[in-house]
Structure 1
Amino acid sequence: MRRGTFRDETVDYAAVGATQAPDLMQYPPERSIPAEESWRIGSGESRFKTAGEALLSWTAQRAAGLTLSDVRPASGPMYSGVSFDEEGHPVAPSRLEAEQRFDSDGTPFVGAGTTVHMHGRVRGMKIDGELRVIYVVEEARRIGFALGTVGGSVVSGEESFLLDWYANDEVWFTVRAFDAPTALAYKMIPALTRRRRRELFKGYLRAISPLYSTPT
């Protein structure tokens, strides 16, 4: 499979693309803690496209309290990266990136192979590390991407963000992740990893869902 020519950094975990595995929650990568949440965020094409634009311009990460810096797109032609079907078989990239897009402050949109530094605090927990965009999906009814750790984070692993516009017109936002603790405190207290993940999920949902604060 052809890829862009990325920078020398490599991710610091082995199970690249495993957020797409259908059995992630039952069989996560060794020593990692899996997590998955799905939320209905509305319905219709307009909701899907608006949420997709927000997702690919890093809105979920920023609204979760994270700051992006040193965003470095892959050099050369960019492809959507590794992708798998429901049985775990690799499939062709979903889209060739014809040209780089930018948000209103000049930050490049999400692109396969992009490397970014993220830092901040979520409920007192430090977020600081280098991340790589593992794959990007832009299809008629599915938009999303995955981020993998390159180094410097308190955990090692991957998280994916996917929007699906289903045949019944509902739009759903799904976040999946697996985290292997690397910092000593997180290794000693696994609950810290789970708490960190829960708080990040809440921030991502606030960013993407207009229904988040609506009473049920």
Structure 2
Amino acid sequence: MTRLTGAGRSTFNYPERGATARRPLPAGYHLTHHRARIGSGLAAFAAAGDAVTTFRAHRASGMLVEAAASQGRPVRPGDRVVVGIGAGPLRIDAPCEVIWTAYEPRRTGFAYGTLAGHPERGEESFVVDLDADGSVWFEVNAFSRPASWYTRLAGPVVPFLQQRYARRLARHVRKLAVAPRPV
């Protein structure tokens, strides 16, 4: 398992750091976008934002997460995160670093960028928005391209899986936004 480290930390494996905070996303990458209505009202907005920024939604969707924020503390820029899937020799770990965060009255979320050792190169943002009409939305935006032999070999399967995961994550954010947080 990849471990979070302090000294000798990995470096980003792509040059467009912070691009998910701007538009358009960089050319030359596969782009993923998914936006889903989560609910309505301040309580749903707060619960969804908490689920996203503490990785509860990621864990609920089946991902293994190693991060300070996964222990209940909201993410901060510079936080290291290892997201994993699978088990034993089939486990894939994906090291990332939080690039930016948003803790605003109507917008909560973050983006992380891939580090050396990640099977992809790029960045992904996870944002919860509260519209003026009270609607709560969850949005994923990402740009990526293969960084390992197996993601290059998988070709178009990887973008399909990324889009599928964005939809799955939205479903879990929706469930967590209406469920009371465990004590």
| TM-score bracket for this pair, using the shorter chain length | 0.7 to 0.9
**Closer, same or farther: CA 126–159 of 1 in aligned 2, 3 Å:** farther
The alignment of Structure 1 onto Structure 2 pairs a total of residues equal to 169
| Cα distance in 1, alignment partners of residues 121 and 91 from structure 2 | 14
How do 1:1-216 residues align onto structure 2 when only pairs under 5 Å count?
8-24=9-25, 28-30=26-28, 32-69=29-66, 71=67, 106=71, 108-121=73-86, 127-210=92-175
Q: Which moved more, 1:134-143 or 1:110-119?
A: 110-119
Instruction: Give the drift of 1:196.
Output: 2.3
Q: Deviations over 1:59-78 (max 9, x none)?
A: 22212221122x36xxxxxx
TM-score normalised according to structure 1 size: 0.70
Partner SS for 2:16: coil
Q: Deviations over 1:45-102 (max 9, x none)?
A: 1110111111111022212221122x36xxxxxxxxxxxxxxxxxxxxxxxxxxxxx6
- The alignment-based identity, stated in percent, is 31
Q: Is the 8 A contact 1:179 1:193 kept in 2?
A: no
Instruction: Give the drift of 1:184.
Output: 2.2
**Structure with greater Cα Rg:** 1
Structure 1: 5+ residue stretches without partners = 1-5, 73-101, 212-216
| Cα distance in 2, alignment partners of residues 60 and 192 from structure 1 | 23
The one-letter code of the counterpart of 1:61 is H
Instruction: Give the drift of 1:143.
Output: 0.3
The one-letter code of the counterpart of 1:12 is N
Instruction: Give the drift of 1:15.
Output: 0.5
Q: Is the 8 A contact 1:41 1:209 kept in 2?
A: yes
Query: By percentage of residues, which structure has more helix?
Result: 2
Q: Is the 8 A contact 1:54 1:208 kept in 2?
A: yes
| Cα distance in 2, alignment partners of residues 141 and 185 from structure 1 | 39
| Cα distance in 1, alignment partners of residues 106 and 35 from structure 2 | 16
